[in-house]
Amino acid sequence: MSNEKPHATGTVASGDTSKRVGMETLRERGIDPIELREKLIDAIGAEFTTYYYYTNLRMHLAGNEDYKEITEDARLEDRAHFELVVPRVYELGGQLPNDIREFADRASCPDAALPEDPAPENVLTELLEAERCAIRTWSEVCDMTEGIDRRTYDMAQRILQEEIEHEAWFIELLSMERDGNVNPAGHFIRGEPGDAPLSTNRRFNESA
């Protein structure tokens, strides 16, 4: 009896490092892995630039420490989203743009720039609309990968859940700040700022 283990059939030859089975299986299931990869780069470009812009927006919420605290959670969780998906770009045979300006220009969402009038109402509006764009972006990734690319879908749906939370937070704050209305988000304080309970890489690296 031969001890030689059979190789699975497919288009990638044994020992071939020029191709990736992880990409070939996506093609077989109807997803263009290059199209997906480029979409992911655009999506995490938005997460990266949002982290930057939220830093500035948060600074201008001086005197509103509750607003600042919640913005800090969203800011750091957007960074966690970027870091969660970066490896997937490389697994799909890609890489981050070498020029950060190109990366920012590719972002799937508009810049969450500081308004000319940085009143809390205007800053919260900017934060809210940034979260809504993120929800649309990650919903598209989920739709594209559900039932086909389990790895990307798992990442995208976890990010999407947190983005939906973020939207609810800023609806609550803006409703009270602008309209004087109570519009609860069901927000609970994270264990620590930016805990990112669903998307942080740290939880997957911690020992039990």
CATH of the domain at 141: 1.20.1260.10
Please report whether residue 97 resides in a domain: yes
Domain count within the chain: 1
Percent of the chain having pLDDT more than 90?
74
pLDDT tens readout for residues 90-110:
999 999 999 999 999 999 999
pLDDT tens readout for residues 49-60:
999 999 999 999
Model pLDDT, residue 194: 62
Please report whether residue 82 resides in a domain: yes
CA proximity to 170, closest of 80, 75, 81, 83: 75
Is the model's pLDDT at 134 over the cut of 90? yes
Please report whether residue 185 resides in a domain: no
Q: What is the pTM of this model?
A: 0.85
Model pLDDT, residue 80: 94
Please report whether residue 116 resides in a domain: yes
Model pLDDT, residue 87: 96
CA distance 177 to 191: 26
Domain encompassing residue 42: 30-179
Is the model's pLDDT at 113 over the cut of 80? yes
Please report whether residue 63 resides in a domain: yes
Model pLDDT, residue 56: 97
CA distance 53 to 73: 14
CA distance 186 to 80: 22
Is the model's pLDDT at 79 over the cut of 60? yes
State mean pLDDT over 184-198: 71
pLDDT tens readout for residues 22-67:
788 899 989 999 999 999 999 999 999 999 999 999 999 999 999 9
**Average pLDDT across the chain, whole number:** 88
Structure tokens that stand for 184 in this block = 């609860």
Structure tokens that stand for 167 in this block = 């939207």
CA proximity to 152, closest of 1, 53, 25: 25
Three-state secondary structure string covering the chain: CCCCCCCCCCCCCCCCCCCCHHHHHHHHCCCCHHHHHHHHHHHHHHHHHHHHHHHHHHHCCCCCHHHHHHHHHHHHHHHHHHHHHHHHHHHCCCCCCCCHHHHHHHCCCCCCCCCCCCCHHHHHHHHHHHHHHHHHHHHHHHHHHCCCCHHHHHHHHHHHHHHHHHHHHHHHHHHHHHHCCCCCCCCCCCCCCCCCCCCCCHHHHCCC
Please report whether residue 120 resides in a domain: yes
More confident residue, 203 or 177: 177
Please report whether residue 142 resides in a domain: yes
Please report whether residue 96 resides in a domain: yes
Assess contact for 136 and 129: CB atoms under 8 A: no
Model pLDDT, residue 16: 54
More confident residue, 135 or 9: 135
Is the model's pLDDT at 14 over the cut of 70? yes
